[in-house]
Amino acid sequence: MLRIKRRGQLVWEDLQLGSGFDVELVYGKDVRVDGGAIGLTDDYDLTPSLARFLMINHDRISERLGHIETTLASYRHHNRNECSTKDRVLTYRFLSCVYDLPKPPTGLTESSLEFERDLRVRNLMTSGKDALLAAYERFVAVSRSEATRWWYIFWVRAWTVVILKTH
């Protein structure tokens, strides 16, 4: 019996799509070997032994292949739709300009109004200029050195604990 032990945890339409797995062959109650017995390597190279094993089991593999391909197509379609929906609300450009590599807030609001389509985001940008400026100034301050980043992380965490305990 061939057993595939999954490591990942991503189930889509009753199919485990999570990354990583180990293969085990069970020959009897006390006889178990890993995938190396059929030529499976850590890099999943197509070795002669693995090619032979796949050829012997071609019919069994083909039976499930259609279901797997259909499920993967459904998963891709879902993710494309989800990304499109998210992009219509908040563009990836916004995320990179404000969060990944923040740019000075000068012109950011006007630029965002040009590219962002969602009215909620546009309103937030026009009403939140002070918050963007404060966030950018904080980013500049903590970007000076690794020591300032650690200092900021420590004090924000310490003050958060103090505030939570007093409320």
- Residue by residue, pLDDT tens for the chain (167 residues) are 889 898 889 999 999 999 889 999 999 888 999 999 999 998 889 999 999 999 999 999 999 999 999 999 999 999 999 999 998 888 888 877 777 777 787 777 777 788 888 999 888 888 888 888 888 888 888 889 999 888 888 887 777 777 777 76
pLDDT value at position 110?
79
Q: 6 and 36, same structural domain?
A: yes
With beta carbons less than 8 A apart as the criterion, state whether 33 and 24 touch: yes
Q: 11 and 81, same structural domain?
A: yes
Q: 81 and 115, same structural domain?
A: no
Q: 97 and 72, same structural domain?
A: no
Q: 95 and 82, same structural domain?
A: no
- Domain total in the chain: 2
The domain boundary, picked from 45, 70, 86, lies at 86
Q: 74 and 6, same structural domain?
A: yes
Label each residue of the chain as H, E or C: CEEEEECCCCEECCEECCCCEEEEEECCCCCEEEHHHHCCCCCCCCCHHHHHHHHHCHHHHHHHHHHHHHHHHHHHHHHHHHHHHHHHHCCHHHHHHHHHCCCCCCCHHHHHHHHCCCHHHHHHHHHCHHHHHHHHHHHHHHCCCHHHHHHHHHHHHHHHHHHHHHC
CA 38 to each of CA 1, 6, 7, 47: distance values in angstroms, whole numbers, following the listed order: 12, 18, 20, 9
The domain boundary, picked from 48, 67, 86, lies at 86
Q: 37 and 18, same structural domain?
A: yes
Q: Does pTM top 0.75 for this prediction?
A: no
The domain boundary, picked from 64, 86, 108, lies at 86
Domain extent at residue 125: 91-166
Chain segment 2-47, per-residue pLDDT in tens: 898 988 899 999 999 998 899 999 998 889 999 999 999 988 899 9
